[in-house]
Amino acid sequence: MTGSGLSSIEVAERVADGKTNAFVQDTSRSVWSIVRTNVLTLFNGIILVCFLVLLAIGRWQDALFGFSAVANAVIGSVQEYRAKRALDRLAVLNAPHARVLREGSEAEIDIALVVVDDTLVLRAGDQVAADGLVDASSGLQVDESMLTGESDAVEKIPGDRVLSGSVVVGGEGTAVVDRVGADSFANSLSAEAKRFSLVASELRSSINRVLKWVAWIVGPVALLVLNAQMITQGGWVDAAASGGWRIAATATIASVVAMVPLGLVLMTSITFAVGAVKLARQQVLVQELPAVEGLARVDMICLDKTGTLTQGDIVFDAAHVLTAVAGWESVLAWYGVQNDANATARSLSSRFTDSQRKAVIDRVPFSSARKWSAATFDDGMWILGGPEMVFPGHDSPGADREGLATMAAELAATGRRTLVLAHGSPTIDKTVPADAVPVALLTFRENIRPDAAETLRYFAAQGVGVRIISGDNPQTVAAIAREVGLDAPRGFDARQLPDDDDELLEVLNEHIVFGRVTPDQKKRIVVRLKAAGHTVAMTGDGVNDALAIKEADIGIAMNSGAAATKAVARLVLLDGRFSHLPSVVAEGRQVIANIERVSMLFLTKTAYATFLAITFGILLLPFPFLPRQLSVTDGLTIGIPAFFLALLPNAQRYVPGFLRRSLTFAIPAGVAATLGIAAYARLAAGQQIPEAEIRTGSTLILTIIGLWILVVLSRPVTRFKGVVIGAMMVGLVLVYTVPIVREFLQLVDLTLPTALLVLGASLVSIALIEIVRFAHRRIARRDAKPAVSQRGAK
């Protein structure tokens, strides 16, 4: 069965029995998960209880916030569902395939169509589609690091088990499938590994921290306010007997609802989702939405050369004969047509077509550690690999080897990739023969991506450091780096990287280009840069990049790359265009800068609502707002304008300390608003002003303060921002002038003394807010200075 694979009848039988690799796993969150996240929250629970209480006591007019909460949940669910659909469509279009033997021939099928007892054909770069037992192996090496954490590639022999999700990094072989679908190893792990996930995000973690703080204080503050309101209604006994408790409950609910920053979470989710959909239109697949924010924070980007700076298509250039040994051309022809040939070896078939050779006696498959492969024929052992890897030193005698090193260095300096074909006596321990002689030095060319230079100039202008880490010859990589505009006089040979982490960091700070870097070294470089405080992005397309891409803060894969590399990346460039990265960075900066601005609006509201509740609770004053009044003013001064502000273009560079900066504005601004309203309410109560007029004046003060905070946080006020702010002002004027709205909100005309108090309290609060903004800008500039200094040091 394993020799020719399954027949179509055997496949049909297994499909009928359900023994297929089909496994239903969303590439992003399920619909239920989206609804649950947006609906079943602690704060929605608080809002629901308050909503039901108001309905129960007949104050449905004050329950408007309940409909607002429903609208928030619906809008958030719809936006995230639209993002999910866009991401799912893109993910389906890029689903991996598997090669199997069926009825004696090789076929490429969708991984879901693999069945039990199928024979998988495994070659370098493949991701294993299902669990199985190795049937045949020719130097088969598998990287199981993404499953087991073991970084070293494991050599597989017949009878060994291969696991779904692991990656073939060397040699080739076949394996007979024995576990599929949900029973396979990869799928039995946490299904969340490949689903939508909330990646570590400063925005989300900061907002969640604020929500946790509010959750802790809502209960005690509500009791404080309720007690004060019951006392203002004549005390607990009288209020309960007279029905005044209804007024007290309404006022308490107004204070509690105002403290809950419902819209902040909604705005964050919508902004992430819209950013992901916009990038999807540019052929950038965002596999984890907060990765959009993450790239805005990146200050160091590590690039693989092949497939990133270059297009990845290798073209044979020339053969420079060093030693006359018969048969070398037909050896190259043999290398060019092997099933496991990489792109470099395949390019040989365009020049060398003589395949009249005897059968190979033995072979050593290529490995990323050796960086050479070999085949033994009846005329000896032929080795093909990097010159400095096949002949690592000059300790062995022979002018031909010294000439090889000189010529290889000269050719590599021109940007051409070099390989050497050597010949010697066969060895039995997979080592280069001691009598090996270089027969021909082969050169290959790579086409540089036309957008690479412009993209790197963008990163340089933005102060983002760049490191090129490649498995190729250091001088070849350095030459290509110079072609794309990097200041790279020479490349550093990664075989000389120090073991000490501090010394490694010194080398990374001194050099831009690194060649002959192994997969483990790529990972180590990324880890060390992260430990030094950098936010690191890693781009690549090969299997050898997968470990580093997984370890980086933001992993970016080319769609032309290996399935395993794309699986661990957070962003996939679907059309492979490196030039998309500036758009991704710009989108990330827009997201993080706008959410920071919007968060100040919502957190300021939470701050003054909390301080007002505590102040009026301590002073035993009637709470000066009805829930319906707060619902309207909050919507016009915060909710609606926040939606537009969150989606505006914003190229501001990210500076760490989002929550501290937001709170250093929100808390003092909240205190300023509280002082104005509390002073007004105390003075108005002392002048025996009617309660309805006090509420109207308080609502007007809060409206003026809210609009001023909106103006302050919108600076510089562009034409579009001016239109938004102007529309909100018109809306508020209508609220105070349209009779049916005034009646519903229980707004009354103000007498002259009340109007003067309103004006004075508003001006005092506005003056204090301007002082707060001045101090806040100084703090923001101080935070930005370390970032500027770091950019200058790169």
What residues are annotated to the active site? 304
Query: In the beta sheet, which residues pair with residue 179?
Result: 131
Closest by Cα among 475, 417, 447 to 309? 447
CA 53 from centre of chain: 42
> What's the token pair of residue 115?
């069945």
Quickly list DSSP for 611-637.
Answer: HHHHHHHHHTPPP---HHHHHHHHIII
Helix, strand, or coil (residue 427): coil
Torsions phi, psi of 270, nearest 5?
-65, -40
Residues 473, 376 contacting (CB under 8 angstroms): no
Beta bridge partners of 554: 537
H-state helical runs in 620-746: 627-634, 640-645, 658-686, 691-714, 719-737, 739-745
Amino acid at 286: V
Q: What is the dihedral of CA 311, 317, 319, 320, to 10 degrees?
A: -100
Half-sphere exposure of 348 (CA within 13 A, CB side): 27
C-alpha to C-alpha distances, 264 to 162, 408, 617, nearest whole angstrom? 47, 60, 26
Sheet holding 437-448, edge to edge: 310-321, 437-448, 417-424, 380-385, 372-377, 362-364
Q: d(Cα 366, Cα 14) in Å, to the nearest integer? A: 36
Residue type, 68: S
3-state helix, strand, coil in the chain (%, to 5): 55, 15, 25
Pairing mode, strands 465-469 and 300-303: parallel
Interatomic CA distance for residues 120 and 99, integer angstroms: 6
| Sheet of strand 300-303: strand arrangement | 284-286, 571-573, 554-558, 536-540, 300-303, 465-469, 513-515, 492-493
